[in-house]
Amino acid sequence: MTKKISPSEHPVTPVALHWLHLGSLVVLTVTGIQIHALPLAERSSSSIGNLHIPAMLLFMATTILRYLWAFLGDGSSARGTYELEDDWRHFMFHKGDLRAAVQWLARYFFLRQDAPESRKYNPLQLAMYAVVFPLLILAMSLTGLALWPAFSETMAWLTSALGGEAGVRTVHYLAMWILVACTGLHLYAAILDGAGRITAMLFRYVPAAQLAERDRSGEL
């Protein structure tokens, strides 16, 4: 697998949305823990909601914008290249991914030293980005709206389906912690990929030793 990195793997828009998404998740987690610690009768009226609700709206907005950009944006490049292609194509599963997933599990558990061959994202990352994260974010968003007094009537169907407000709170809180755990796994995978890919993902900075060569036709 190529060790070279191109800044065009992570264009400006996804990087900016990534930061907004991360910031809103941190605020949601901290304020969510604080709200959960309050007596039940005080949770809906707590001033902590003045931070929690805007963070929730930002979290939902950045999620929607990121997926829209994947289909409507200028595109991003594969590993080590400068040629842009539709971003959504990097999130597609392919034949042989199941076998590759086993190889990547071995890599993550240090049962093999070398990184298996993969496209821009390996199969485990694809499962996280294309399946797990969207489902968790959807669960958090819907249950969050159901707990928000302004939408409680509109979301009454969900509250009823989950057996009442207590069930909604349980699903919301559980989804939050699973999402936090998955974010930790995401960070772990990025660390194993090397510092250069982390700085490229967060700041679009690639150390000179890892910078992919640009051919004459390549453009950022």
In a domain, 173, yes or no: yes
**Per-residue pLDDT reduced to its tens digit, 21-73:** 999 999 999 999 999 888 877 877 788 988 999 999 999 999 999 999 999 99
Parent domain of 24: 7-78+113-207
How many domains are contained in the chain?
1
In a domain, 91, yes or no: no
CB of 10 within 8 A of CB of 218? no
pTM of the predicted protein model: 0.85
In a domain, 20, yes or no: yes
Confidence class for position 197, pLDDT limits 50, 70, 90: confident
* Encoded amino acid at 200, one letter: A
In a domain, 156, yes or no: yes
Angstrom CA distances, 197 to 58, 135, 203, stand at 26, 26, 10
Question: What pLDDT, on the 0 to 100 scale, is given for residue 2?
Answer: 54
Burial of 25 (C-beta count, 10 Å sphere; 0-12/13-18/19+): buried
In a domain, 106, yes or no: no
In a domain, 97, yes or no: no
* Average pLDDT value for residue range 167-189: 93
| CATH number of the domain residue 43 falls in | 1.20.950.20
In a domain, 217, yes or no: no
Name the strand (E) or helix (H) holding 141.
helix 133-147
In a domain, 87, yes or no: no
